[in-house]
Amino acid sequence: MDEPVTDETSLVEDEDDTFVDESEESDEERSSADPYQEELSTFISNLDDDEQIELTALAWLGRGDYDLDTWEDALEAARDRHNDRTASYLMGIPVLPDYLSEGLAAHGVSVEELR
């Protein structure tokens, strides 16, 4: 019987010098390890559906999937795909801050203006 393949980069040394596969941790275990991720995930989850849809569309706009001429299409696509895992989906995008910044810039808004 074959052993399951484990990505060596997901192996970490725990307190008793044994290696554990972090990739087997649940989303809850991972988010509780980083309070900032947990806070952001909770923030996104607490947005109403329309706000989550707009945030998703903004990320897609920043990623280049849409432009301002197709903003309504981005909103419609985000609305069609919306579910209760929006926070998890968005948190899974490694460069989410960059995409959101670019999406805002496309709308003529600077992140610096929002601070």
Cross-strand bridge partners of residue 20: 12
Q: Kindly state the tokens that stand for 83.
A: 């579910």
Q: Kindly state the tokens that stand for 104.
A: 């805002």
So where are the chain's domains?
35-114
Side-chain half-sphere exposure of 111, counting CA atoms within 13 A: 8
Q: Kindly state the tokens that stand for 87.
A: 């926070």
**15: confidence class by pLDDT, cuts 50, 70, 90:** very low
Q: Which amino acid is at 37?
A: Q
Sign (positive or negative) of CA dihedral 64, 70, 75, 79? negative
For the segment 19-37, what is each residue's pLDDT rounded down to a tens digit? 444 445 555 555 456 888 9
What's the confidence (pLDDT) of residue 114?
Answer: 81
Q: pLDDT higher for 115 or 22? A: 115
Q: Exposure pattern of 29-58 as b/e (b: 16+ CB <10 Å)?
A: eebeeeeeeeebbeebeeeeeeebbbbbbb
Task: Please state the three-class secondary structure of 68-94 as a single string.
Answer: HHHHHHHHHHHHHHCCCCHHHHHHCCC
Whether this model's pTM surpasses 0.95: no
What's the confidence (pLDDT) of residue 112?
Answer: 87
Report which of 71, 79, 81, 56 is spatially closest to residue 106, judged by C-alpha positions: 71
